């Protein structure tokens, strides 16, 4: 489900608290290749794995938010 977020402060909060964490996912995300096929992402050598959904759950379990 998608819908517009018209309030500028709320829009920025959604970007900062949700989208940016999910974009850092390097362990469970799928990346689309030029031919339209997908490959599962992997952390680079010496890079800690980041699972976006898990990071969001941990963040909100700690009570962190920008509001």
Give the start-to-end residue ranges of the domains of the chain: 8-60
pLDDT on residue 48: 96
pLDDT on residue 64: 74
pLDDT on residue 63: 86
User: Is the pLDDT reported for residue 66 higher than 80?
Assistant: no
pLDDT tens digits for range 4-48? 999 999 999 999 989 999 999 999 999 999 999 999 999 999 999
The three-point CA angle 5-11-14 to 5° equals 110
The residue assigned the tokens 């964490």 is 21
pLDDT on residue 10: 96
45 vs 24: CA distance, rounded Å: 16
Residue 28 in tokens? 């469970």
pLDDT on residue 65: 66
């Amino acid at each position: 489900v998608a819908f517009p977020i018209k309030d500028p402060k709320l829009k920025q909060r959604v970007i900062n608290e949700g989208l940016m964490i999910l974009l850092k996912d390097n362990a469970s995300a799928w990346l689309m290749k030029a031919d339209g096929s997908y490959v599962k992402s992997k952390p680079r050598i010496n890079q800690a794995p980041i699972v976006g959904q898990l990071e969001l759950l941990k963040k909100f379990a700690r009570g962190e938010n920008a509001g």
